[in-house]
């Protein structure tokens, strides 16, 4: 245990003054209808001299609590606590205040998930500094590394406060092989802990203008921005919300070609227990072949023009859009249907292979309305562009290149006139509101969609990753880049695990009470900020060093409950990993 609560400490206390003496009372409060009410109290003793803090226990209290007999305590007037004296005649101990609520939350999550153990396995003494930096980036997302030293001095963190130079030296000491060793430990722990395992894999691009990082190349990105970039891939455990692996790839790497490297990196994992969840960017015949040859269960989102769903689409799109109530999935407000489909391929080792998969078709009326409205706006914009181009042509004004939308929906016809691509436009209308998933192991549309939607948390984690690893912050040599991204990866892991725990607690509470006390995604930063104000008083002359928690508000108690973390209460000491 990182935080060891002391049962023989006296806290919380208050002073009740009379004409002749000042008595110290120990009390217990309880929140009732949002108000803190005292439910019990007892006299601990009396203060002999307020100037020196001299204190004497009552005999009645010592009879009930013999563990305090023979111990020398003094009264700290400023913080209303009783604490040990180090030696006879020693005055009040040196004390300081630390922000601790948020760091305590993430350290507990890291310990429960085995992250602290794996960090110490790989980095030994440096593990404390690495987890401290990760928590710093997580709790203070808008501060840079230069502010770490002063912030760490005021925060309960396991590592020593490091200057900017010290942080740079720490980054330089973290090697690529060490990061890979840690990631393999996390993947192995995930595959052993959960059965079945659902892992979601996705990629994103990070823009960078660095001239010293070989991975920075021009490539394709979803925003269609022609910028030099690095491709970042994340493998996430859907059962815990933790990213268990990440990959830094050449900026020109396409999504469809990253899957093979993923299998090579995790060749030591028993893939028979793994269910891989992939989005449409990985839809390719070669990837389906690779998944089959690796004996991996999968859920793959496919494009509407994919050949594997062509026959299923023709046979089912009209009847699915008829909105059969027996096919309705209320959780996602859509209709779903599963059909079997065959696909075959050639293998050098096995020859001709015939395989069967489940094609899951879904129809969302809301999605259909939104897509039709979007297509109408695109069509209207194309017609306006055609009119404008004809006007410029009449006045012999230079014409620019046609827009992407115009080339997608129109073609040149007779006399170079723009004509609508009727077949493509009809296909777009038929596919409005439809989306498809392919799986070789799940036959239920409801279950398949539920598992696929669990990967959404991976996409949410990308935003934090991209902000922290943006090109303006990635001006470094390649070795430091891997270390910096690893620390940010660690921070994002803790944040995503927190979000996953909050979601799970919300769902379980709803099933019990049918009342939702949800903490929405955009309030997680507010949750972290609120908990960061929870402080501790650090008594530095006691041995071991002791910490006294502030009293929590009902809202802060709810935060810890939703995160499935024990409430920080009373007095505690820290083990050797975290004490400083």
DSSP designation for 138: H
Residue 267 falls within a domain, yes or no?
yes
The answer as to whether 352 is a domain residue is yes
Question: Do residues 254 and 332 share a domain?
Answer: yes
Residues 359 and 213 in one domain: yes
Instruction: Assess whether 81 and 13 both reside in one domain.
Output: yes
Q: How many CA atoms lie within 13 A of 364 on its CB side?
A: 13
What is the rounded (10 degree) CA torsion for 323, 329, 333, 337? -50
> Could you tell me if residue 485 is inside a domain?
no
In the numeric block, which tokens belong to residue 427?
């296909």
Domain's final residue, options 400, 431, 462: 431
Q: Phi first, then psi: give them for residue 215, nearest 5 degrees.
A: -70, -20
Q: Degrees (nearest 5) of the Cα angle 87, 93, 94?
A: 135
What are the two backbone dihedrals, phi and then psi, of residue 243, each rounded to the nearest 5 degrees?
-70, 120
In sequence order, the 6+-apart residues with CB closer than 8 A to the CB of 2 are 107, 108, 111, 116, 158, 574, 575, 577, 578
Contact partners, residue 224, CB within 8 Å, separation at least 6: none
In a domain, 508, yes or no: no
Question: Is residue 336 located within the same domain as residue 378?
Answer: no
Q: Which two tokens stand for residue 500?
A: 């996953």
For residue 315, being part of any structural domain is answered with yes
Distances (CA, A) of 66 to 62, 63, 232, 391: 5, 6, 60, 98
Domain boundary among 93, 122, 149: 93
User: What secondary structure letter does DSSP report for 454?
Assistant: T
pLDDT tens by residue, the chain, 580 residues: 555 544 445 666 778 888 778 888 888 877 777 777 878 888 888 887 777 777 788 888 888 877 677 666 767 665 545 555 443 433 444 567 888 899 999 999 999 999 999 999 999 889 999 999 999 988 888 888 888 998 998 898 988 899 888 888 898 899 888 988 998 888 888 877 766 778 888 877 666 655 556 666 665 555 555 667 777 777 888 878 788 887 777 766 666 667 777 776 666 566 667 788 888 888 888 888 888 877 888 999 998 888 888 888 888 988 999 999 999 998 889 999 999 988 777 777 667 777 888 999 999 999 999 999 998 899 899 999 888 888 888 888 887 888 888 888 888 887 778 888 888 888 888 889 999 999 988 999 999 998 888 776 555 555 555 555 443 344 455 557 778 888 888 988 888 888 888 877 777 765 565 554 555 545 677 888 889 888 887 766 556 677 778 778 888 888 888 889 988 876 565 654 444 4
DSSP three-state, residue 519: coil
CATH of the domain at 209: 3.90.350.10
* Ranges of H-type helices in 395-455: 404-409, 422-431, 445-453
Alpha helices in 71-147 (DSSP H): 101-112, 115-123, 126-139
The pLDDT, as a whole number, for residue 527 is: 86
Q: What pLDDT does 537 receive?
A: 78
Secondary structure element (H or E) that encloses residue 446, with its range: helix 445-453
Return d(Cα 299, Cα 454) in angstroms, integer: 11
Residue pair 564/498 in contact (Cβ under 8 Å)? The answer is no
189 SS3 class: helix
Query: Are the beta carbons of 229 and 208 closer than 8 angstroms?
Result: yes
Residues 350 and 450 in one domain: yes
- Is residue 19 in some structural domain? yes
CB neighbours of residue 196 within 10 Å: 12
Q: Is residue 518 assigned to a domain?
A: no
Same domain? 336 vs 417: no
Domain termination site, one of 93, 128, 147 = 93
Instruction: Enumerate residues 6+ apart whose C-beta is below 8 A from 555.
Output: 530
Query: 415 and 443: one domain?
Result: no
- Number of structural domains, the chain? 3
Q: What are φ and ψ of residue 169, in 5° steps?
A: -65, -35
Residue identified by tokens 């990837």 is 287
Claim to verify: residue 227 and residue 323 sit in the same structural domain: yes
Distance of alpha carbon 100 from alpha carbon 105, whole angstroms: 9
What gap in Å lies between CA 487 and CA 556, rounded to an integer? Answer: 27
8 Å CB contact between 411 and 418: yes
Same domain, 62 and 204: no
**Is 475 contained in some domain?**
no
Shared domain for 371 and 349, answered yes or no, is no
Contact 220, 265 (CB under 8 A): no
Same domain? For 384 and 445 the reply is no
**442 and 420 in a common domain:** no
* Residue range(s) defining the domain that contains residue 392: 367-431
């Amino acid at each position: 245990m990182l935080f060891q609560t002391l049962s023989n400490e006296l806290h919380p206390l208050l002073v009740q003054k009379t004409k002749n003496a000042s008595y110290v009372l120990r009390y217990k409060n309880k929140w009732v209808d949002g108000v803190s009410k005292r439910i019990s109290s007892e006299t601990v003793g009396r203060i002999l001299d307020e100037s020196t803090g001299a204190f004497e226990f009552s005999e009645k209290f010592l009879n009930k609590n013999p563990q305090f007999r023979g111990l020398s305590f003094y009264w700290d007037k400023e913080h209303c606590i009783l604490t040990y004296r180090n030696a006879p005649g020693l005055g009040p101990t040196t004390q300081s205040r630390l922000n601790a609520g948020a760091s305590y939350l993430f350290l507990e999550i890291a310990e429960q998930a085995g992250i602290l153990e794996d960090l110490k396995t790989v980095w030994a003494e440096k593990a404390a500094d690495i987890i401290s930096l990760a928590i710093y980036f997580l709790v203070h997302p808008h501060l840079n590394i230069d502010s770490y030293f002063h912030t760490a001095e005021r925060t309960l963190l396991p590592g020593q406060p490091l200057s900017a130079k010290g942080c740079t030296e720490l980054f330089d000491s973290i090697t690529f092989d060490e990061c890979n060793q840690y990631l393999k430990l996390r993947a192995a722990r995930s595959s052993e802990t959960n059965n079945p395992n659902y892992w979601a894999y996705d990629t994103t691009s990070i823009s960078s203008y660095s001239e010293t990082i070989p991975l920075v190349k021009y490539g394709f990105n979803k925003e269609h921005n022609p910028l030099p970039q690095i491709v970042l891939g994340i493998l996430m455990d859907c059962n815990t919300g933790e990213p268990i692996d990440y990959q830094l790839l050449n900026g020109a790497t396409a999504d469809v070609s990253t899957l093979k490297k993923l299998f090579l990196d995790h060749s030591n994992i028993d893939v028979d227990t793994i269910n891989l969840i992939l989005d449409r960017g990985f839809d390719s015949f070669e990837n389906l072949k690779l998944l089959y040859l690796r004996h991996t269960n999968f859920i793959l989102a496919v494009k509407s023009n994919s050949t594997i769903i062509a026959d299923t689409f023709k046979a089912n799109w009209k009847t699915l859009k008829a909105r059969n109530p027996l096919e309705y999935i209320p959780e996602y407000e859509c209709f779903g249907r599963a059909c079997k489909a065959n696909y075959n391929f050639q293998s050098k080792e096995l020859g001709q292979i015939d395989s069967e998969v489940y094609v899951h078709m879904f129809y969302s009326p809301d999605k259909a309305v939104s897509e039709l409205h979007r297509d109408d706006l695109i069509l209207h914009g194309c017609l306006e562009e055609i009119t404008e181009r004809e006007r410029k042509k009449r006045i012999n004004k230079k014409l620019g290149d046609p827009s992407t939308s115009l080339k997608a929906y129109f073609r040149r016809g007779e006399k170079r006139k723009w004509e609508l691509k009727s077949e493509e436009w009809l296909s777009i209308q038929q596919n409005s509101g439809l989306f498809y998933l392919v799986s070789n192991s799940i036959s239920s549309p409801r279950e398949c969609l539920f598992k696929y939607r669990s990967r959404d948390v991976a996409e949410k984690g990308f935003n934090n990753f991209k902000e922290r690893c943006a090109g303006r912050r990635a001006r470094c040599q390649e070795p430091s880049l891997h270390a910096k991204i690893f620390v940010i990866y660690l921070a994002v892991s803790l944040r995503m695990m927190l979000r996953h725990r909050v979601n799970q607690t919300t769902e379980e509470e709803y099933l019990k009470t049918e009342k939702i006390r949800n903490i929405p995604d955009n309030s997680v930063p507010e949750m972290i900020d609120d908990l960061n104000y929870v402080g501790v008083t650090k008594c530095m002359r006691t041995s071991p060093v002791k910490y006294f928690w502030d009293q929590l508000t009902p809202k802060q108690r709810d935060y810890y409950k939703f995160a499935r973390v024990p409430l920080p209460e009373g007095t505690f000491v820290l083990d050797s990993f975290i004490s400083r």
